[in-house]
Structure 1
């Protein structure tokens, strides 16, 4: 089944709008927890992170606000990828770089949550008993949520690339650079035990 286009030769922008909604919705918990709200955090988020939020640790509160802003930027990226009129050459390259980079980072991060959670459920990995419930949330909610965002950004970047026009080759290269760079960064962070 082919995506329907509203304009000849241009794919429908639904994936960009889905990525935008994903980013804006996902920013809400970051800002809520950054303002001191903790409802829902105790059962769905790592106890160490909940404790930092409860203590109002300045560094952690700053991280919450920064991640909230980054999620809003992700929402704006989704809107930019959905834009119907052509961007300038440089901007299309930046959008491809950011779109594919974000897609790979989100899918990788979500897959780590799901993979680790499945290994815990299969008793291949052992964790503290008090973390089992939280692990299920990471496996069934946070991991799939990150992956869904990654898929939305990948589809939005793909649709955007199809609409780029005469700079498609260079924009495509920028997308490859973003995706491969994000994969290398993610693999390095995983090996280093960060994230």
Structure 2
């Protein structure tokens, strides 16, 4: 894999670790930025529901598994890397589409086409930061997988 491909993988790892750290912070009871999520997530965080905290801890560990997946792309085994690359590409598409779908539905809520339980504060943060953040992560996962496939030499 060339330097550019490795840079995309490392950027994806950084994005994933940052995302996991946010989950761990909120699971531990941190409240900075939680209001930007809005709706039921914000309400559960305010209640400090232990079951909800457990789910947030679990999501943090799932996110870290994504960082491990990206890290494995840097390995040397050809056929295994190709499979990992395809998994990253599919994950990237799904992550991107999740952010895009949320962006569209929250935009429609902002236009009063849909009725969501989101404060204006949360709506703005979701449209300006959270959903583009998801889409950027999806792009990083897809690009990392694509770069890996381009860099995998066929096994003779």
SS of 2:119's equivalent?
helix
Which ranges in structure 2 are unaligned for 5 or more consecutive residues?
Answer: none
Higher Rg: 1
Question: Counterpart in 1 of 2:140?
Answer: 152
Q: List structure 1 runs of 4+ shifted beyond 4 angstroms.
A: none
SS of 1:12's equivalent?
helix
- Partner of residue 32 from structure 1, selected from 25, 29, 33: 25
8 Å Cα contact 1:36-1:54 kept in structure 2: no
Q: State the shift of 1:155 in Å.
A: 0.6
Larger relative contact order (CA 8 Å, sep ≥ 6): 2
Scaled by the length of structure 1, the TM-score of the pair is 0.71
Rounded Cα–Cα distance in structure 2 between residues aligned with 1:63 and 1:101: 24
Q: State the shift of 1:117 in Å.
A: 2.1
8 Å Cα contact 1:114-1:140 kept in structure 2: no
Matched, 1:72 2:73: no
Question: Counterpart in 2 of 1:87?
Answer: 77
Q: State the shift of 1:141 in Å.
A: 1.0
Scaled by the length of structure 2, the TM-score of the pair is 0.87
Judged with a 3 Å threshold, the aligned counterparts in structure 2 of structure 1 residues 150 and 63 are, in CA distance, closer, same or farther, namely same
Matched, 1:100 2:85: no
Which ranges in structure 1 are unaligned for 5 or more consecutive residues?
Answer: 168-195
